[in-house]
Amino acid sequence: MVFENIPYGIPSYVFGPKWFYGFDSIIELIAVVISILLVYYSYKAFKLTKENKYAYFSTAFLSLTAAFVIKIIGTLAIYKPTITRTAIGSSIHQTFNSLTPSNINSLAFIAHIFFMLLGFMILFLIISRLRWNDQRVIILLVYFVFLATWISVIHYQFFYLTSFAILMLITHSYYKNYIRIKSEKAKFVFIAFSILLISQAFFIFVIYSNTIYVLAELIQLLGFVYLLIPFILIFKREPKRLRK
């Protein structure tokens, strides 16, 4: 783990072993692609139906997409410091010349925490069918996300512990959804979130061994692949009524 103090006491985090550098970015890139697909389709559903639930779902996955993109940038700053010598990299570097790769990594990690928690929180709000018109609930939950981000900066484990707790509630809701509608696709969604929940459990302990980080990333990849399956199934088959 790279741990360097930077101004304001924000630590820099890279958890994986050296041989895994870049592989985690590829895994996160796959997660980004799957998240973007969900963002795009739910936004399309919102445009057609004008139902807000699709817009919120789209926002949740947009937040998760932002979280992963930011993490990729943050880790690349450590894995590939030569990136600052490229045309774009050097112009960014000149603009923010006081930022070291470690600074970028630290700031990216904070943004990653915020967007991950925000995404999971929005998802929890939609699928648990909390009343969105009660703005006090929303304000309280957004405050909680800020608070959790702040504490997570000091104790990174709090971040994974919080996302584990929110994901546990999300997974429970998806289990109830699967029991209610008994469809194969709902089962895949439930399995996907169960796997993501397990990956978060592994992430809590990454500080103890970098092998745990590798396992957590691979489990997370599996979770996102499972999330893609129901999406493919929906588009693969034509509805029964249209089959000849």
Partner 1 sequence: MIVKRRGKLEIIADILRSIQSKGGNIKPTHLLYKSNLSHAKLKEYINTLVQKGMIAEQQVKGKKMFVMKDNGHKFLLEFDRIKEFSDSFGL
Mark residues 213-242: x for contact with partner 1 by CB under 8 A, - for none.
-----------------xx--xx--xx-xx
Among positions 13, 15, 57, 109, the unique one binding partner 1 when judged by CB under 8 A: 57
- The 8-class DSSP code of residue 11 comes to B
Q: How far is the CB of 72 from partner 1 (least distance, A)?
A: 25
Residues 6+ apart with CB under 8 A from 199: 216, 217, 219, 220, 222, 223
Q: How far apart are the C-alpha atoms of 120 and 50, rounded to whole Å? A: 23
Query: How many whole angstroms separate alpha carbon 228 and alpha carbon 26?
Result: 16
Backbone dihedral angles phi then psi of residue 128, each to the nearest 5 degrees: -85, 0
Q: How far is the CB of 183 from partner 1 (least distance, A)?
A: 6
The Cα 235–Cα 240 span in angstroms is 13
Does position 189 interact with partner 1 (CB under 8 A)? The reply is yes
Stretch that binds partner 1, among 72-80, 109-117, 155-163, 176-184 (CB under 8 A): 176-184
Give residues 73-132 in contact with partner 1 (rule: CB under 8 A): 126-127
Would you tell me how many other CB atoms lie within 10 Å of the CB of residue 149?
Answer: 21
Is residue 135 a contact residue for partner 1 (CB under 8 A)? no
Site residues, partner 1 (CB under 8 A): 41-42, 45, 48-49, 53-54, 57, 126-127, 173-174, 177, 181, 183, 185-186, 188-189, 230-231, 234-235, 238-239, 241-242
